[in-house]
Structure 1
């Protein structure tokens, strides 16, 4: 699988985003928080992913966009470990909880940790029959 982040993998549905906040489960590995939701209807892809950086912590759109780019890039490079090991479809929303602009290495390290925790949790919730 190529490590791209095509349009069909981007989380854009307003109702799905609302559903993530209302019913989603979360995993935190500071400064990242993953909120995920198992999608019942078959989606075009296994995972749809979005990123968010609170305006409260970063007033400047330039800084927020920089952090979002870092989050998307680290997800793009590490998503293979999820795509190859899950059943069903999920919606992901990554939130950045930190107060200062991170280094890429820190984001990537925490992204790996959070994706590994997600895999452990999902495989424990849905044991393969």
Structure 2
């Protein structure tokens, strides 16, 4: 239940391009979420990619720390906040979460904001 498998990661270049050109997005500081409903065959309700700007965080160590915290918060809360709602409405989507914050905060902050983002996304995707 609390896993994050390879199949859940968004790796398809065509899907990523489509997501950024045709998808919807919203801001939930310190995250920016871009999402798009898909019709393709997916094993999981959501395929996701996490990104942190190299322009803002020059050192790879910092970018990796932020991505690790984002992935962990997502992994723990995706099932209850997002997957259950999407399974009921039988929708599948591709998702990108970008970190746009100016400083690296504690994990508790990341978790609180990720919960807010997932609730907002579930509300928008089900409409």
Output the TM-score relative to the length of structure 1: 0.91
Aligned to 1:79: 78
Output the TM-score relative to the length of structure 2: 0.92
* 2:78 aligned with 1:44: no
Report the Cα distance in structure 2 between the residues aligned to 1:35 and 1:14, rounded to whole angstroms: 15
Report the Cα distance in structure 1 between the residues aligned to 2:126 and 2:47, rounded to whole angstroms: 19
Report the Cα distance in structure 2 between the residues aligned to 1:8 and 1:122, rounded to whole angstroms: 21
User: Is the CA contact (8 Å cut-off) linking 1:33 and 1:95 kept in structure 2?
Assistant: yes
- Which residues in structure 2 correspond to 1:1-129 (within 5 Å)? 2-80=1-79, 81-86=81-86, 87-124=90-127
Report the Cα distance in structure 1 between the residues aligned to 2:125 and 2:10, rounded to whole angstroms: 20
Paired residue secondary structure (1:84) = helix
User: Is the CA contact (8 Å cut-off) linking 1:34 and 1:95 kept in structure 2?
Assistant: yes
RMSD of Structure 2 on Structure 1 (CA) = 0.9
How far is 1:42 from its partner? Answer: 2.2
User: Is the CA contact (8 Å cut-off) linking 1:27 and 1:114 kept in structure 2?
Assistant: no
Query: Once superposed, which parts of structure 1, at least 4 consecutive aligned residues long, lie more than 2 Å away?
Result: none
User: Is the CA contact (8 Å cut-off) linking 1:27 and 1:117 kept in structure 2?
Assistant: no
Q: Normalized per residue, which structure has more helix?
A: 2
Report the Cα distance in structure 1 between the residues aligned to 2:118 and 2:85, rounded to whole angstroms: 11
How far is 1:116 from its partner? Answer: 0.6
Q: Structure 2: where are the runs of 5+ without partners? A: none
Aligned to 1:127: none
